Chains A and B, each alone.
Chain A
Amino acid sequence: MTSGEQRSRVRVFGLRARLLLAFLVVAAISAGTTAALTYREARSALLQTAQDTAVTSFRDRVQQTGFSLPLPREDLEGVLRDIARMGKPHPWVVFAEYGSIRASSGENPVSTVITPELRRAARANPHGSFERVVKDGVPYLTIAMPTVFKAGPDSVLPSGIVLYAVMRMTDEQLNVDALLMAGRDGALPGLAVALIPGLIAARSVLRPVRKLRQAALSMGSGRLDTRIPVRGSDELADLARTFNESTGQLERSVRELREAEERARRFASDVSHELRTPLAGMLAVTEVLDEDADGLDADTARAVRLISAETGKLAVLVEDLMEISRFDARAAELNADEVDVAEAIRKTLQNRHWTDDRVRVELPDGIRARLDPRRFDVVIANLVGNALRHGGAPVTVSLHTEHLGAEAHSPGTAVLITEVADSGPGIQPAVLPHIFDRFYKADAARTRSAGSGLGLAITLENVKLHGGTIRAGNLPGGGAVFTVEIPLHTEEADG
């Protein structure tokens, strides 16, 4: 869970980042568009006002000035300077063209800013006109003003005099720049403010998601009663509700399964218990019958011996069933004691009368381990008995210890390894995965075996109880080998 949280924090394009990014993009687009449109409108309004003022006041000034025709060159510059002095909204430079006369209120009689297009427009039709020109980064307003005069009461004639005004738009430039700055300064804090709703939205989405994830993890670790608090009525609340319902159904199914399993186990346990008492009586009777069988006629004697043998097998089966029921009910206890392992194995073989040359042992002395002597006895007896029954003599029981994962500086885990190998044909590879299953018949044809069919399953449970493992395999030269590995807790404690 902690590693998961770290992962989500490291994630760059997580839900939170994407939501924030989306909010920022939307805010940037709207702020940018608004600022740009406002700027454009304000700029054109600003320039429009300046231009209209300039054109109107220039026309007024010109109209208040008297000219004689033809225009005398001599005092023309003085007249132009008078007009220039009254420039609005800024001082302007006035140029005049008449015939071949070129004069101005400034130093040069001809302007470098006025374009041929403006000149042509002023000559072609009698209209005032202006043109904005940017020269060397400085914006200028150039105005052309053709003049007319009254030749009679109803008669207006073009005089041939064209006046030009050139005005620097420095102040307008400053105002436009200020507009741009204002737009920018307004948009950037807007973006910062947009982060707050973005964070809130991300939080409102991420919190239920995080809770859902924690609940799923908690369920995975076995707590099926995990539920999420449902808040609100949005899609995430629906998801939480669905999750809770599914969890409830899952919990119910699992509980039913467990109860069914429990019932089945208790049934097997009860059946074994109920069978044991009558079987004990039957065993006592069959022993008597066995003794008297020699006095009976041949057929009856065979029948009596068959009944006796089968009753004995039934007794073993019932004992095994009870044993495995205890494992299933987790009622099996480990009564561990420190024992000499080689000694324990020898005692087992002696008790089963496997002391002839059918069983060979390789048992080094001095290996001590904490084991349950009775259960270890069952393990060894089952394995050797199984080997003798299904494999072939001779059976070899060997014992040694090993340090698994041992390295130079750490001793690793010390394990006790017991191997039981036979000299039979070995185990078919298809059978190997099922060899420890209950009532599994390695040979389908041999439906009746001497064992109960639970021997290896009980062995496996006993080894597990010791915290060890058991595996089956085949030797390279033929013959099956069962390997039991049990951790040596004693050495660990001593060392």
Chain B
Amino acid sequence: MIRARTRRHAAAVAVAAAVPLLGGCGIRGTDVIEAGGPASIQAFVNPDYDMLLFFRSPDGGLNPVVRTTVPSDAVFGTEYLVSGEVEDSGVTEGPVPTEKVVRSLLAGPREKDRAAGLSTSLPAVRAGGTVAVERSSGGRVTARLPLALKGLDSTALRQLTCTIAYSQGGDGKAVVELTGQDGATRSDTCGLDLGNTGNVPTETEPRARPTPSGTTG
């Protein structure tokens, strides 16, 4: 009886040892495994005449959209533009003014943006509202907006913050202070940028770009 028990024990031990060894012949599925950084694509952003607008994607996040201000007779970019898309601005040199960028954002997504499912959380604003932008020391930007800040959701505020921040400088890390018509103020940074996280593969520049224009107003 004792013998039979020891024999059974030995068999159990053998099976327990064999199962992890023999377990899983062939290819088995895995969990999600992280493998390196994201892919860095070429989006052809030229800070001299392109502006970045942030709209709301269907999953609730913010998607950047590149909108160019080049006139329709410009050689570069005509094939991308439909007539009427170009902002009616006389500025042809230097970065696009922030006031203009904010007005474009408030005007909402265009047909092309909507086709990709993008929308805005900002309310429709009457044309002609004034946008005043001031840059103070320490990378701080103050913007006066022609709409009430109260009642805006967080996505709307982030749309404004990110759009203003990226219109100001290359890295979009400026602290943005928003002041609404109702006098309410909100202060925030965009926080979407991955530039300093370190795990993004640094790519060689695919094309020559102008030097950063951090000091220009």
Contacts and interface: CB of A to CB of B under 8 A. Distances in A.
- Real binding pair: yes
Interface of A: 32-33, 36-37, 39, 43, 47, 51-52, 55-56, 58-59, 62-63, 65-73, 98-101, 115, 117-118, 121, 123, 126-134, 139, 143, 145-161, 163, 169, 172-173, 176-177, 180
A127 B38 contact: yes
B41 A66 contact: yes
A118 B29 CA distance: 13
Contacts of A160: 57, 61, 63-64
Contacts of B192: 157-158
A356 B215 CA distance: 167
Contact of B171 (A55, A66, A154): A154
A169 B27 contact: yes
Interface stretch (B43-51, B99-107, B132-140, B180-188): B43-51
A370 to B, nearest CB: 62
B216 interface: no
Interface string B9-32: 000000000100110011111111
Residue picked from A56, A98, A154, A180, most chain B C-beta under 10 Å? A154
A147 B40 CA distance: 6
A269 B186 CA distance: 142
A127 B37 contact: yes
A132 B43 contact: no
Interface stretch (B114-122, B141-149, B150-158): B114-122
Contacts of A52: 35
A149 B63 CA distance: 12
A149 B40 contact: yes
A68 B45 CA distance: 9
Given A148-B200, A157-B192, A130 B27 contact: no
Contacts of B170: 151-155
Interface in B89-114: 112-113
B117 A100 contact: yes
Contact of B39 (A123, A128, A129): A128
B124 interface: no
A335 to B, nearest CB: 66
Task: Describe B's contact surface by its main secondary structure.
Answer: loop
B39 A163 contact: yes
A156 B194 contact: yes
A128 B31 contact: no
B195 A145 contact: no
A63 B116 contact: no
B83 interface: no
Nearest to A180: B25
Contacts of A43: 27
Interface residues of B, number: 57
B35 to A, nearest CB: 5
Given A69-B43, A173-B27, A101 B35 contact: no
Given A146-B38, A148-B41, 5 more contacts: A67-B42, A99-B118, A121-B34, A133-B29, A149-B42
Nearest to A62: B39
B45 A150 contact: yes
Contacts of A101: 116-117
A154 B172 CA distance: 9
A32 B23 CA distance: 12
Report the 9 A-B pairs with minimum CB-CB distance, sorted nearest first: A100-B117, A152-B170, A99-B117, A160-B63, A149-B43, A62-B39, A36-B21, A139-B27, A99-B116
Contact of B30 (A72, A131, A145): A131
B35 A51 contact: yes
Contacts of A123: 59, 61
A129 B116 contact: no
23 contacts: A63-B203, A68-B80, A69-B43, A69-B65, A69-B66, A99-B58, A123-B59, A127-B34, A128-B37, A134-B29, A139-B26, A139-B29, A143-B35, A147-B40, A149-B42, A156-B195, A157-B166, A159-B41, A160-B64, A161-B41, A169-B27, A176-B26, A180-B25
Contacts of A139: 26-29
Contact of A73 (B29, B33, B115): B115
Contacts of A148: 38-41, 194, 200
